[in-house]
């Protein structure tokens, strides 16, 4: 797992930009609570977190956040339908054991959801696999295959297909790469090849599960 | 003399137990959950630190089955042991008495200064014995409510406790939502498991079957020490984990190197339990033990709310910190999660964390950096919000 101290601020600016003041927000896999803390300071949100590590929960407590230590693979059932304005799944979906179930639960409990993930279709990934014949390992996915928490890797186009297949209404796509100063740079042109991270905002409110 | 730990700057120092009595006519008696009444009612309690002017820094500490009002400090300079949660209460400690006003209240039904089966029944002039009404967690909390009224504290910054104390903390937040800013529930449950009831019942049977028990009427004839000691020995096993016991005692023998091939206690763990039993008899009343275990067994928070835990928490306005321990098999984490899930479903503010430890149920009584840090940070943010 990532070092909780050096949790990267991937996509924070895009997320903060999207969330209106005073929203009720649930951050799944909130780590040390940095994003929630920033959302609380800049957007005065009602922030809640779910985090698998006890250390992460302790760090959230330090920041005065409410956090539940648990596995998001089975920890969402108790939340009521549409009970959060925003559910955030930032660089977390690829860690889940049952992404399909997690997404279904998120769509049930959220009015909106922000889902961001490392894009396995990025050209650096493709080149490493094509030219070296090795599992990609770089700043996006800095793990060896044997110690990676990323157990469900996918590309932006995979996720677009997935949303189509399940009739999840995509409200906005803001695929991006990260600058050295950790600011996000939107990649509008051929994102599946050129964006390091996928970024989807789905409309959970008007979604009715079949 | 100054080397006594009571003089340590982190100790609350020398402390006296206070007693508060209510229900003396013309006051109303305490109406118990069973429908019976109790009067007068005395509660033993101690306080540490100072109540601030706005009365926003009061924390009520609630004890477990065998606990007392004496949570911190020393009663005298001859006192070899401090209060039961002295590690956590004092200047600069988790419940920082230089910031917070900490109250520890004994429970009714106990035997450490509060009205219980060993108190004199004003109607008969002798000890209540098992004529004492059955006490529930709700009754304990209702009695404490009178104490908090008496102390003129409109809202508690926090109520907290472990085990049976955690049940009380939970009940406080449900029974008196307007008086509880936050609730810290440690190693507890909204109802004890069948396994927990089973262990309690074996303990009670040990007492019933002691010929000295005499249907609870033994205060002039000699206490059922064997039964009570046995009850304590059984219970003590449930407070530790298998791993901790193994580490602490293993298969080591006491005072001998070789098996004696007879039925004398020779394993270290045997003599440890034996010692725990004896120690307990000297400080606890067998009838109180029956009442306390019964209170735990009867506790079922959801039973008062159409058997639905979700409904139980609907009107609470308290914020919660719920903590469980991985090796606690008496109040396993799954029971804490049940509480937390019901709170989350109600959209309440709740922090839940499971502390990885081999120390079993009693972990909350021992020093633990993570427990200390989590409680201390939670209190800090609650105190900030309380002052707003």
Whether pLDDT at A180 is above 60: yes
- Give the gap in angstroms from C-alpha A48 to the nearest C-alpha of chain B: 8
pTM: 0.95
Mean pLDDT of A127-152: 93
Please list every residue in chain B whose beta carbon sits closer than 8 Å to the beta carbon of residue A61.
321, 351, 353, 373-374, 377-378, 381
Strand residues in chain B grouped as ranges (E): 18-22, 30-31, 37-38, 41-48, 58-62, 89-90, 95-96, 101-105, 158-162, 182-186, 319-325, 350-355
Q: What is the 3-state secondary structure (H, E, C) of B324-361?
A: EECCCCCCCHHHHHHHHHHHHHCCCCEEEEEECCCCCH
Q: What is the pLDDT of residue B2?
A: 67
| Cβ contact, residue pair A78, B354, below 8 Å | no
Whether pLDDT at B98 is above 60: yes
**Residue of B321, B344, B370, B373 to mutate when probing chain A, most A C-beta within 10 A:** B344
B239-289 tens-digit pLDDT: 999 999 999 999 999 988 899 898 887 899 999 999 999 999 999 999 999
Mean pLDDT of B151-166: 98
Select which of B163, B175, B182, B288 is catalytic.
Answer: B163
Angle between helices B286-298 and B137-150 (to 10 degrees): 100
**The domain A12-120+153-203 belongs to what CATH superfamily?**
Vaccinia Virus protein VP39 (3.40.50.150)
The CATH 3.40.50.1820 domain(s) of chain B lie at 5-192+301-387
B272-285: burial string, b at 16+ Cβ within 10 Å, e else: bbeebbeebbeebb
pLDDT band at A205 (very low <50, low <70, confident <90, very high): confident
**The domain B5-192+301-387 belongs to what CATH superfamily?**
Alpha/Beta hydrolase fold, catalytic domain (3.40.50.1820)
Cα separations (Å) of A117 from A106, A150, A155, B118, B259?
Answer: 16, 10, 9, 65, 63
The CATH 1.10.1740.110 domain(s) of chain B lie at 199-292
Residue B354 is encoded by which pair of tokens?
A: 């499971």
Considering only alpha carbons, which residue of chain A is nearest residue B325?
Answer: A54
Domain B199-292 fold: Rna Polymerase Sigma Factor; Chain: A (1.10.1740)
The span from the CA of B94 to the CA of B383, in Å, is 13
**Residue of B181, B337, B352 to mutate when probing chain A, most A C-beta within 10 A:** B352
Domain-wise residue ranges, chain A: 12-120+153-203
- Give the gap in angstroms from C-alpha A149 to the nearest C-alpha of chain B: 21
DSSP three-state, residue A61 = helix
Give residues with Cβ within 8 angstroms of B240, minimum separation 6: B248, B359, B360, B361, B362
Residue B205 is encoded by which pair of tokens?
A: 């049977």
Whether pLDDT at A5 is above 60: no
Lowest mean pLDDT among A183-187, B105-109, B127-131, B189-193: A183-187
pLDDT band at A1 (very low <50, low <70, confident <90, very high): very low
Please list every residue in chain B whose beta carbon sits closer than 8 Å to the beta carbon of residue A70.
337, 352
Other Cβ atoms less than 10 A from the Cβ of B311: the count is 14
- Give the gap in angstroms from C-alpha B386 to the nearest C-alpha of chain A: 13
The span from the CA of B386 to the CA of B388, in Å, is 6
């Amino acid at each position: 797992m990532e070092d909780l101290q050096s949790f990267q601020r991937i996509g924070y600016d895009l997320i903060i930009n999207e969330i209106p003041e005073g929203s009720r927000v649930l951050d799944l896999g909130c780590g040390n609570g940095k994003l929630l803390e920033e959302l609380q300071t800049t957007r005065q949100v009602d922030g809640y977190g779910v985090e698998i590590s006890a250390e992460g929960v302790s760090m959230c407590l330090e920041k005065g956040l409410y956090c539940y230590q648990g596995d998001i693979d089975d920890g969402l059932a108790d939340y009521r339908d549409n009970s959060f304005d925003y559910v955030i799944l930032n660089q977390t979906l690829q860690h889940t054991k049952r992404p399909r179930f997690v997404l279904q639960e998120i769509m049930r409990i959220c009015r909106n959801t922000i889902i961001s993930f490392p894009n396995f279709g990025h050209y650096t990934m493709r080149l490493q696999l094509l030219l070296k014949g090795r599992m990609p390992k770089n700043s996006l996915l800095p793990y060896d295959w044997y110690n990676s928490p990323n157990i469900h890797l996918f590309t932006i186009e995979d996720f677009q297909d997935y949303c189509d297949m399940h009739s999840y209404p995509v409200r906005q796509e803001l695929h991006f790469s990260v600058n050295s100063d950790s600011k996000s740079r939107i990649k509008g042109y051929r994102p599946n090849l050129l964006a390091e991270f996928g970024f989807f905002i789905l409309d959970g409110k008007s979604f009715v599960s079949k | 003399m100054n080397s006594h730990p009571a003089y340590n700057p982190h100790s609350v120092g020398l402390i006296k137990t206070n007693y508060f009595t209510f229900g003396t006519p013309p006051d109303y008696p305490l109406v118990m959950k069973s429908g019976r009444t109790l009067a007068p009612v005395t509660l033993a309690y101690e306080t540490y630190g100072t109540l601030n002017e706005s009365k926003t820094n009061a924390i009520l500490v609630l004890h477990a089955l065998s606990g007392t009002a004496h949570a911190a400090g020393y009663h005298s300079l001859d006192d070899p042991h401090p209060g039961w949660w002295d590690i956590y209460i004092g200047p600069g400690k988790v419940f920082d008495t230089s910031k917070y006003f900490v109250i520890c209240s004994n429970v009714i039904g106990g035997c450490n200064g509060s009205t219980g089966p060993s108190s004199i029944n004003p109607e008969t002039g002798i000890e209540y014995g098992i004529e004492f009404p059955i006490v529930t967690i709700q009754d304990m909390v209702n009695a404490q409510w009178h104490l908090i009224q008496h102390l003129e504290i409109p809202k508690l910054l926090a109520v907290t406790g472990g085990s049976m104390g955690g049940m009380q903390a939970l009940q406080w937040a449900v029974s008196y939502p307007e008086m509880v800013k936050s609730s810290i529930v440690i190693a507890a449950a909204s109802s004890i498991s069948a396994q927990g009831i089973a262990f309690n019942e074996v303990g009670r049977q040990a007492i019933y079957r002691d010929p000295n028990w005499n249907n609870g009427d033994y205060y002039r004839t000699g206490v059922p020490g064997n039964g009570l000691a046995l009850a304590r020995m059984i219970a003590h096993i449930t407070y530790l984990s298998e791993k901790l016991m193994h580490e602490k005692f293993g298969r080591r023998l006491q005072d001998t190197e070789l098996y004696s091939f007879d039925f004398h206690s020779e394993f270290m763990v045997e003599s440890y339990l034996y010692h725990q039993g004896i120690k307990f008899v000297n400080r606890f009343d067998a009838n109180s033990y029956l009442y306390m275990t019964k209170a735990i067994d009867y506790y079922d928070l959801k039973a008062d709310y159409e058997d639905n835990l979700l409904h139980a928490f609907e009107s609470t306005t308290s914020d919660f910190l719920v903590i469980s321990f991985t090796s606690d098999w008496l109040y396993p984490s799954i029971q804490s999660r049940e509480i937390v899930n019901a709170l989350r479903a109600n959209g309440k503010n709740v922090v839940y964390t499971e502390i990885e430890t081999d120390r079993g149920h009693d972990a909350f009584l021992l020093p633990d950096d993570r427990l200390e840090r989590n409680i201390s940070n939670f209190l800090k943010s609650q105190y900030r919000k309380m002052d707003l």
